[in-house]
Amino acid sequence: MISILQVTIGHFITNTGDAVRGTLQWENFPRAISVEFPYVVALLRNNVIEVQNIIEQKHVQTIPFKSKLRTISTGPGIKVQVAGLMDRLKLESGYLLNEYNPNLDNNVSSNVDNDQSNFLATVPTRLIIAGSESVVALAATPFAVQIDSMLDASRVEEAIELSKRMMTTATPENVHSERMRHEYNYIQQKSGFLYLGETFFDMACPLFEEGNTDPRLLIQLFGDMRDIIRNDDNFTVYSGVKEVVERLGSIEDIVSRDLQSLSETLITNAKEMLQKFLTKCREQRVVKGKALKPDERCVLRAIDNALLRLYASSDKPELDQQLNYLLENPNECVLELSENILLENKKYYPLTLLYKDNKEYRKALEIWRRIIEENNSDQDVPYGLQQMANILGKLDDHDLIWEYASWVAKLDEVVGAKIFMQPNLRRPSLIDPNSVLDHLRSIGKKGLRMYLEYLVTQRKSHEEMHHTEFALLYIEELKNLLQSDEVKAKIEEITNEFMRLKDSKKTYLSFLQSQPTEDLLSHERAKLISFLQTSIRYNAEIVLNKLLEIQVLKAELAIVYGKLNEHEKALCILINDLKDFRGAEFYCFYAGRMVSKSSSKKQVDNKVIEDKNLVATRRTLFLMLLKVYLQIQDESGMVEEIINLLNAQAVYLDITEVMGLLPECWSVEMLNEFLVRSLRHNYHNYREGQVLKGLCRGQNTITSFELYQAYENIGPTVMDQNTLCSKCKEYISGSNFMRQPNGDIEHVQCNLEQREDDNTSGVNSTATVSDPLSNHV
């Protein structure tokens, strides 16, 4: 501090000596200075206390004392209860008088937090003034007490502005910060209700938001929403705010005092203000992934039910969308409070959503059915059939599912079929598949085919009827498409394009699968081919008769011929009609199956590959394929294919049979690679057999030597006419006897009977190796 010409100036400096903020001035040099943020209190030599604001560096108050003061000190602090603050910030029940809300009990107002009320009405201070005759505590007057008088004088705007300036001092180092926040909320809430009483709804709404007003207090002012607030909703409001609200009365009372002619418009404006406020409150409380506490859930319940009524009573299309969004997402709407409101306003789709949330599925489904039957589904129930399908797909009620799913299927067989297709394949079907099939057959074929595909591919049905009918429906659909000349031309074009293809590594099936996505016909055929070759349960004769009606589907015919073991016909189709040489080789290698290149090595059952009978089948089929090649008239065009087949499959072709089939004019040079491979393979098999035979002889020699050593170690067994069987105790005669490892002699028949008895009784005896002896006497 610096004293210049009877004026004392105080500076704020940091611990490094730098000046900050500004300066304070006093008329004379202070005797003592103390700080309680945001105030600096100075005891001057003329027995006067001056209070200045640190933030604004302004003089706030001068307090003269008659008794002589000695000093000001900062003590541990004392608490002073301010009566004016208690009158304003005391927490009382948020329920309004029963004349406004007759559903509430009289005793709910007693359930308040008195400790919190006492805390809010108490002002802590650490400024202790010591005098010659007394000790005084200096406490700052709460700004709510100062500003409230401005509100009573209708100086609302000034009060709001002043409260915002005062909140700038509510910093962490201020011991009054928590109480100041309540004071600020009190000012904002009271200001908002004062504006509400003047029907300035747009000005009141942001004040309610800023003051953290409990939404339930506002909801009670609307006569058609008072039943939303329940007795168990324990919430509190400031006593000063509640006094203002009770003085104002309901919204109907406010707008009817002086503006009766505009009462309807003003009530509409008030509801729009309430809707805006509640929407903001909901956005603040509903956070994805955050669990709500019980008291927060009670607030949200009141908000959601009030918003539902506001949306339902409006004719604005955008509010209909908001209503749907509210009910389509997690909410706290109560069926008893909202059902009649939605019915009265004919909001049927939101009502079905509410029923669904409350597990009233039959009511929801019945409303959907009634609306759809009246052809109003597009207006009120978007995607009505799909909505019904979504609900029915999650139910376990057999009768309910059958009642409505069968009705949905009549309107849209595809959607109806999806209802019967349970996503959880581990659970048994709720409805007998045969009953579903009978119903779908009476409607159409699209839904029937979809459901059969579900049974066959997902449910893994073992019934021949399902597989056969599914294949027939597939073929029937292709047959209907082929009635168009354009589709026929498309298939012929794809086949001709494949025949002209120079890529010898592609099969006809892989060529179909490689077609563009928009070529649905090719992909449908590829799916049918895959089903025909993987399923072993359809009736191949019935499917063959159906395919013979369609001359274009050659690949499908080849597969079914293979199922019937008519391999020569299948190979003739692949070679003569499709020129699918690579596919024919795959057909022979996989014993009558057509596979694409991608699945040739990975998607074939390993058990089939390792089957011992497969080698013989391959030999037969490859020889058959060679004969088909040789039957083609155009020998010059087939020579290269025949040579490729001989070279690639020499392992499965017998050289003597092949040489008997080939034309005599073919030179040895042309067959050089085949002959080398075939002779090498035959010689390899011969040498392998010789090695195996030698190993077996060596093993037999070792076994015979071990047996000889065993006889040497055991030695002979001496028997006479008095030797008895250890089992039956009868004399042993003849050569039908055996000796156990422990030396016991017994009849062979007795030993067999003992083993049979042990097996019958379940005795798990240790097997013994007996030494049969004959005539070793």
DSSP string, 348-403: HHHHHHHHHHTT-HHHHHHHHHHHHHTT-HHHHSTTHHHHHHHHHTT---HHHHHH
Q: What is the pLDDT of residue 9?
A: 85
CA distance 726 to 737: 11
Query: How confident is residue 473, by pLDDT bands cut at 50, 70 and 90?
Result: very high
* Residue 629 to residue 770: CA distance in whole angstroms: 62
User: How far is it, in rounded angstroms, from Cα 765 to Cα 430?
Assistant: 50
For residues 177 and 214, state if they share a domain. yes
- The CA distances from residue 287 to 282, 321, 330, 642, 723, in Å, are 9, 21, 11, 73, 97
Q: Please state the rounded mean pLDDT for residues 684-707.
A: 92
In a domain? residue 395? no
* Domain around 735: 716-777
**676 versus 258: which is more confidently predicted?**
676
Looking at the structure, do residues 702 and 748 belong to the same domain, yes or no? no
Written as one letter, the residue type at 679 is L
Does 648 fall in a domain?
yes
pLDDT reported for residue 384: 73
The answer on pLDDT for 768 being more than 50 is no
Using CA atoms, how far apart are residues 301 and 326, in angstroms rounded to an integer?
12
252 in a structural domain: yes
Closest CA to 578 of 513, 487, 518, 491: 491
Predicted confidence band of residue 110 (pLDDT cuts 50, 70, 90): very low
CA 294, distance to chain mean position in Å, is 26
Q: Are residues 236 and 114 in the same domain?
A: yes
Whether residues 638 and 732 share a domain: the answer is: no
Asked if the structure places residue 327 within a domain, the reply is: no
Of 279, 295, 330, which marks where a domain is finished? Answer: 279
Say whether pLDDT at 348 is over 90: no
Q: Is the pLDDT of residue 120 over 80?
A: no
Cβ-Cβ contacts under 8 Å for 61 (sequence gap 6 or more): 50, 51
2-4: strand order across its sheet = 2-4, 7-13, 19-26
**Which residues, 6+ apart, have CB-to-CB distance to 156 below 8 Å?**
150, 191, 194, 195
Same domain, 194 and 217: yes
Residue 607: per-residue pLDDT: 44
Distance between CA 765 and CA 92 in Å, rounded?
88
Is the confidence at residue 471, as pLDDT, over 90? yes
State whether 513 and 590 are in the same domain. yes
430 in any annotated domain: no
Mean pLDDT, range 59-80, rounded to an integer: 78
- The Cα–Cα gap between 380 and 517 comes to 36
Res 97: pLDDT: 56
Residue 748 and residue 696 share a domain: no
Cα(first)–Cα(last) distance of the chain, in Å? 137
Q: What is the SS3 assignment for 176? A: coil
φ and ψ at 75, to 5 degrees?
-100, -170
pLDDT at 544 exceeding the cut of 90: yes
Question: Of 87-101, 234-248, 691-705, which gets the smallest average pLDDT?
Answer: 87-101
Mean pLDDT for the chain overall: 83
Of 24-28, 526-530, 715-719, least confident by mean pLDDT is 715-719
Q: Which of 762, 759, 755, 763 is nearest to 738 (CA)?
A: 755
Alpha helices in 74-176 (DSSP H): 83-89, 114-120, 143-152, 156-167
- The answer to whether residue 442 scores a pLDDT higher than 90 is yes
**Window from 76-85, 635-644, 706-715 with minimum mean pLDDT:** 76-85
Residues 164, 237, single domain; the answer is yes
- Average pLDDT (659-664) is 86
Q: What is the pLDDT of residue 710?
A: 82
Percent of the chain exceeding pLDDT 90 equals 27
Q: Which residue has the higher pLDDT, 566 or 91?
A: 566
Same domain, yes or no, for 637 and 519?
Answer: no
Domain-embedded: residue 313: no
466, pLDDT greater than 70: yes
624 close to 571: Cβ distance less than 8 angstroms:
yes
- pLDDT at position 417 is 92
* pLDDT above 70 as % of the chain: 87
Q: Which two tokens stand for residue 741?
A: 């490892």
- Domain-located, residue 7: yes
Average pLDDT over residues 121-138: 76
Instruction: Give me the count of residues in the chain.
Output: 777
pLDDT of residue 288: 72
* Window from 30-39, 112-121, 489-498 with minimum mean pLDDT: 112-121
Establish whether the linkage from the previous residue to 330 is cis, with ω within 30° of 0: no
Backbone angles phi, psi at 256, to 5 degrees: -95, 0
Asked whether 254 and 194 are in contact (CB, 8 A), the reply is no
Are the beta carbons of 699 and 665 closer than 8 angstroms? Answer: no
CB 744 within 8 A of CB 773: no
pLDDT at 3: 54
Q: What predicted TM-score, i.e. pTM, was given to this entire model?
A: 0.66
The DSSP 8-state label assigned to residue 546 in this structure reads H
Most confident of 25-34, 205-214, 670-679: 205-214
Whether pLDDT at 368 is above 90: no
Task: Say which range, 372-386, 421-435, 439-453, has the weakest mean pLDDT.
Answer: 372-386
Other residues' Cβ atoms within 10 Å of the Cβ of residue 735: 12
Per-residue pLDDT of 290-331, as tens digits, reads 778 888 889 999 999 999 999 999 888 889 899 999 998 999
Same-domain status, 605 and 625 = no
Angle CA(59)–CA(61)–CA(63) in degrees, nearest 5? Answer: 135
Q: How many CB atoms lie within 10 A of CB 527?
A: 15
For residue 770, the model assigns a pLDDT of 41
Band of pLDDT at residue 742, cut at 50, 70 and 90: confident
- Alpha carbon distance 455, 678 (integer Å): 48
By the 8 A CB rule, do 587 and 594 touch? yes
Q: Answer whether residue 486 is part of any domain.
A: yes
Give the pLDDT confidence of 499-518 residue by residue, as tens digits: 888 766 788 888 888 888 88
Same domain? 514 vs 605: yes
756 and 708, same structural domain?
no
Overall domain count for the chain: 5
Q: Residue 605 has what pLDDT?
A: 46
Mean pLDDT of 579-597: 80
